[in-house]
Amino acid sequence: MKILLDESVPVQVRNALAEHDVATAIEIGLRGISNGELITRAEQAGFDLLIVADKNIRHQQNLANRRIAILELWTNHRPTLERHFARIRTAAESSTRGRYATLYEQT
């Protein structure tokens, strides 16, 4: 699976997805662009999944007719996310193109 990490997501999240082709928005030159443009470019580049920590993206963007899956994380706090790599991997691997999913904090 080809996965893109938004610039708000710590790069270490790629360690949860070692079996996949993971890039960051910064690495591929997409730093600082709008969420809509990021989604469009990610789709054009053939990404299957965009992982974000931006809780507003689903309210700010029209996600209808999108081909890419989007997974929203509940935080961008690296140490917290590192404790949940197995959950992140499971959520990423069960993502469906064109769907928006939220991974909530586990209590």
- Encode pLDDT of 36-75 as tens digits: 899 999 999 999 999 999 887 776 766 678 889 999 999 9
Beta carbons of 72 and 58 less than 8 angstroms apart: yes
Beta carbons of 20 and 2 less than 8 angstroms apart: yes
**Which residue range(s) make up the domain with 18?**
2-103
pLDDT at 82 over 90: yes
What's the pLDDT at 107?
A: 64
Count of domains in the chain? 1
The residue behind tokens 């961008």 is: 76
What's the pLDDT at 37?
A: 92
- pTM for this prediction: 0.93
Beta carbons of 14 and 5 less than 8 angstroms apart: yes
